[in-house]
Amino acid sequence: MSWLCRSVWGCSPRNFYTGERNYSHNSSSEFYSSLGLEGFSVADTSGTVEEDTDSAILYGTLRGSIVGLRYYKGVVNNNEMVALQREPNNPYDKNAVKVNNVNGDQVGHIKKELAAALAGIMDNKLAVVEGVVPYGAKNVFTMPVQMSFWGREENKEAVLDQLKMHGFKLAPPLKGKSCTFWISGKTGPTYSAPVHAAVHLTTEQLKSEFDKLFEDLKEDDKTCEMEGAEAVGTLLLPHQKQALAWMVSRENSDNLPPFWEERNNFYYNILTNFAVKERPKNVLGGILADDMGLGKTLTTIALILTNFQDGKPLPVEKITSDKSYEVRWKKKIVSQLIYVLLLNVTSVFSGTASIQSVEKKYSEDGPRTTLIICPLSVLSNWIDQFEQHTSQDFHLNIYIYYGSDRNKDPAILSEQDVVLTTYNVLATDYGIRDDSPLHKIKWLRIVLDEAHTIRNPNAQQTKAVLSLEAHRRWVLTGTPIQNSVKDLWSLISFLKLKPFTDREWWHRTIQRPVTMGTPGGLRRLQSLIKSITLRRTKISKVKGKPILELPERKVLIQHVTLAEEERQIYQSVKKEGKVAINRFFNEGTVLAHYADILGVLLRLRQLCCHPHLCTNTSSSFSVAGSNTPEELRQMLVNKMKLVLSSGSDEECAVCLESLTLPVITHCAHVFCKPCIYEVIRSEQPNASCPLCRSELRVEHLVECSLEEELNSSNGKKGGQEWISSSKINALMHALIELRKENPTIKCLVVSQFTTFLSLIENALKKSGFVFTRLDGSMAQKKRVEAIQCFQSSQAGSPTVMLLSLKAGGVGLNLTAASRVFLMDPAWNPAAEDQCFDRCHRLGQKYNVIITKFIVKDSVEENMLKIQNKKRELAAGAFATKKPSASEIKQTKINEIKALIDL
């Protein structure tokens, strides 16, 4: 199974099974304030060489000299890499370029004539200039430097011109030999232009190498087991004991970090040839990259309780029997309050302060507190799991640093055993200068959960995380690399792995060699990953046995034939839609009528479910006529709102995933808010819509809150007589057969359309099914009730749960069900998979059978084809290439054609 869950391009602000999407409308909190231009990590569409190193080519090389060595203490070895840095404020020369060694110490300057040529190139980011000192490192006054010029193809001429103006000319790199000696200079023979560095692996090979990268991690010396401390109230599974042993050993380890060797009293970095006298400290931590469902949270809780200082367990308060009741009661309060909190009634939350009154004075010196940072969507999961897995006889001080009344006193925070917070809160605090207590504390340990949220190195969240201080650092993620090696930098940098904390060294030593397929690049990355990562998948084995014996999962497709009357309505709507869409194609206005087209497709999809579903969606097209352009535009925007409010799981054309915080543009196209903000940021000052290239402006974006709309269209149409539909009949037939077979089997009935779920309710009632319901519009308290009720094995408990496709977060556990009926296909297959995993996960006792109802000869069949294409793309390769706006456009147009049979 591949751990590359992403499709080929784009960077989603989240991955498919987690995400900030559960926020819905958080009007009061910091969430929106931090969701500014850099609040999210999103597609990197900017054009400078620094951020777009994947498309950089090597223009050529040039020999120059570093002068002024005697004025600086930075030393270099032969063949060592050096960094060239512009120094525009140098009082002697505004063109100055200083040279630093790997440690960041200044070595000297680039000689002024050469600096004059480089300044313009570097300032305008036309090329990245990298240096290696080939020899002469022991020189007193000057030393040579071999420079490589990297940049985008289109900037090459400009760079060569600039150099030529100053009398320099690049030489091509010598093939074969890696980055060592070239001969070049002001004079010399004319060479033809250098080309791309040789690529030694195809993308396919690279991908499979990547898979192996993690495969090989399993069979290692990471098989020691360790019991958790007494305070861990849950028995750990064997693979969790292994993880605990590994984590404890990493925290207490004194080995050299990867790529460092001891050589006659010096410590050498074999990648950069950099040497230091002091022994470099190892990373006290690493990456726990187990698949979801293997218990990363539990293992981390065990680590916190088991490994405090010198391998001793955390000195937690042992509860005497008379105190026990009080504490348990207070624990309960905390987890209930968090539910309230998630509903945004933040003022109530000041109640958590009371937990501090159950305090105990600790006398340890040094930090005792573990800081856990996670997305809001899993915050309550952490609280639940602490509750579940801490032995009843112990009391942990946990402070949830969240909400407008959060306690910002560092003294209080650093007394806790655990402080839990979210990336957004952290970034918000960090944004307000000097008002971040989290940045004033030196933590015992920091744990980043779902750490891929800090993929974008330029995002505020990433910066906030990287500037925290801690002795031990952990990264928890199910998908360490989502798109490319690039994604690893933030994580590696967080772990304080020298010299990779500096992005230049990461690029030169790992990222570029890997993406360009330089021999040994992958091996390097592998050795790095291997030394700091533990990863097991669901199919990994412990002592020959599968780690988790998950029952089978089968997906069946059941075709449904529409009844004659349904077919007639369907065909007439299709015919009308096809005529209109055909016209758009002929006029070349397909994308201008995007909302209309989505509307047609939506109606067709709804008609496949039930004729009553689409009665509220207007079927009239925006026809040019008496309407002003502004009125027409408004109509389109309204249509888009209607589509979204139906519950349809539409996708964002930028990240190609389900919409997160949908916003509608002036031109009536819809994207994730973070995605479109990133487009605007990177294309400023004049951004254009990725689909139709019309002008894009933040002030024109209309936010579309899904769940509000859902509430207003809640199901039952007044006065309308209940009738069934072919699909409902098919479902009921299956449910009734199943009940005959085994009346205790529980089922999930899933649809994107909550209105459809309401219609199904009628049928369920008629046939006497006991059912419950879970959708996005329900209050948290009701959700919890619905889930508990459904999960119960008591006689008379519901056997059917009506579930909206996207309800609930990562943690939603519906293992009581072993059957899933998916009533309508989603655009995004990952959204379906995530939904299936709610019952096909740890705790599932039976084989899971999923039935997808697909109407024959309908848009649904075409959707299946597109789903398959997407799966292929996602599994194919993790090419680093992003699609251009025109490719996005073309893909969309092709999809529309395929969907409506054109």
Contact window for DNA (CB under 7 A) among 92-100, 287-295, 564-572, 698-706? 92-100
Interface region with DNA, contact rule CB under 7 A, candidates 90-98, 193-201, 249-257, 595-603: 90-98
Q: Where would I find the beta strands (DSSP E) of 616-697? A: 662-664, 670-672, 687-688, 695-696
Angstrom CA distances, 170 to 110, 112, 783, stand at 16, 18, 66
Q: Is 648 left (phi over 0), alpha (psi -120 to 50) or beta?
A: beta
Hey, which residues between 230 and 249 contact DNA (CB under 7 A)?
none
Q: Is 24 in the site for DNA (CB under 7 A)?
A: no
Taken in order 32, 38, 43, 45, the sign of the CA dihedral is positive
Asked if 780 is part of the footprint of DNA (rule: CB under 7 A), the reply reads no
The answer to whether 651 touches 827, Cβ cutoff 8 Å, is yes
**Residue 69, amino acid:** L
Tell me whether residue 35 or residue 67 sits nearer to DNA (CB atom): 67
Q: Which is nearer to DNA, 67 or 303 (by Cβ)?
A: 67
Residue number, 49 or 110, with CB nearest to DNA: 110
From 3-11, 68-76, 78-86, 625-633, give the range in contact with DNA by CB under 7 A.
Answer: 68-76
The backbone region for 24, taken as left when phi is positive above 0, alpha when psi lies in -120 to 50, beta otherwise, is: left
Q: Does 111 bind DNA (CB under 7 A)?
A: yes
State yes or no: residue 439 binds DNA (CB under 7 A).
Answer: no
Residue among 8, 56, 62, 67 that touches DNA (CB under 7 A): 67
| Binding of DNA by 74 (CB under 7 A) | no
**Residue 95 in contact with DNA, rule: CB under 7 A:** yes
For residues 91 and 629, which CB has a smaller minimum distance to DNA in the complex? 91
Look at strands 800-804 and 771-774 and give their pairing. parallel
Instruction: Determine contact, residues 269/245, Cβ cutoff 8 Å.
Output: no
Q: Give, in degrees to the nearest 5, the angle at Cα 280 between 279 and 286.
A: 140
Nearer to DNA, 55 or 90 (CB): 90
Q: Does 207 bind DNA (CB under 7 A)?
A: no
Q: How far is the CB of 94 from DNA (least distance, A)?
A: 8
Cβ closest to DNA, residue 70 vs residue 164 = 70
DSSP, collapsed to helix, strand or coil, labels residue 860 as helix
Minimum Å gap between C-beta 272 and DNA is 23
- One character per residue 139-178, x = contact with DNA (rule: CB under 7 A): --xx------------------------------------
**Cis preceding linkage at 313, omega within 30:** no
How far is it, in rounded angstroms, from Cα 90 to Cα 577? 67
Q: How far is Cα 34 from Cα 244, in angstroms, rounded to an integer?
A: 35
Amino acid residing at 681: R
Q: Which position among 26, 47, 54, 68 is part of the footprint of DNA (CB under 7 A)?
A: 68
Q: Is 488 exposed, middle or buried (0-12, 13-18, 19+ CB in 10 A)?
A: buried
* Distance between CA atoms of residues 787 and 797, nearest Å: 11
CB of 78 to DNA, least distance (A): 17
Report helix, strand or coil for 450: coil
User: Going by DSSP bridges, is the β-strand pair 274-276/266-269 parallel, antiparallel, or unpaired?
Assistant: antiparallel
Give the nearer residue to DNA in terms of CB position, either 52 or 93.
93
Of positions 71, 191, 362, 722, contacts DNA by CB under 7 A = 71
The one-letter amino acid at 118: L
Between 112 and 897, CB nearer to DNA? 112
Taking the complex as a whole, the smallest distance from the CB of residue 163 to DNA amounts, in Å, to 17
Site for DNA in 502-561 (CB under 7 A): none
Q: At its nearest, how many Å lie between DNA and the CB of residue 117? A: 11
Q: Which of residues 25, 112, 871, 897 is near DNA by CB under 7 A?
A: 112
Determine the 3-state secondary structure of 26 from DSSP.
Answer: coil
Name residues contacting DNA, limited to 709-738 (CB under 7 A): none
The residue (of 89 and 626) whose beta carbon lies closer to DNA is 89
Supply the minimum distance, in Å, between the C-beta of residue 148 and DNA. Answer: 21
Compute the least distance from the CB of residue 138 to DNA, in Å: 11
Using the contact rule CB under 7 A, the part of the chain among 107-115, 199-207, 353-361, 595-603 near DNA is 107-115
C-alpha span between 75 and 532 (Å, rounded)? 29
Taking CB under 7 A as the binding criterion, the range among 62-70, 521-529, 566-574, 658-666 that sits at the site for DNA is 62-70
**Could you tell me which stretch among 102-110, 174-182, 220-228, 317-325 binds DNA (CB under 7 A)?**
102-110
Q: Which residues pair with 651 in a beta bridge?
A: 658
User: Does residue 109 bind DNA (CB under 7 A)?
Assistant: yes
Cβ neighbours for 633, distance < 8 A, ≥ 6 positions apart: 666, 667, 668
Using DSSP, state whether 882 is helix, strand or coil: coil
Considering the complex, state which of residue 95 and residue 155 has its C-beta at the smaller distance from DNA: 95
The site for DNA, by CB under 7 A, has a size of 17
Asked if 666 interacts with DNA (CB under 7 A), we say no
Check residue 101 for interaction with DNA (CB under 7 A): no
Name the segment binding DNA (CB under 7 A); options: 32-40, 109-117, 210-218, 326-334: 109-117
Closest CA to 287 of 179, 213, 395: 213
| Residue 513 CA to its chain's centroid (Å) | 24
Check residue 64 for interaction with DNA (CB under 7 A).
no
* Strands of 418-422's sheet in order across: 398-400, 418-422, 370-374, 442-449, 469-476, 285-288, 533-534
Please, is 745 exposed, middle or buried when counting C-beta atoms within 10 Å of its C-beta (0-12, 13-18, 19+)?
A: middle
CB of residue 120 vs DNA: minimum separation in angstroms?
14
Task: Give the count of alpha carbons within 13 A of 104, CB side only.
Answer: 7
The CB-of-90 to DNA minimum distance in angstroms stands at 5
Strands (E), 295-336: 317-318
- List contacts with DNA (CB under 7 A): 67-68, 70-71, 90, 92-93, 95-96, 108-112, 115, 141-142
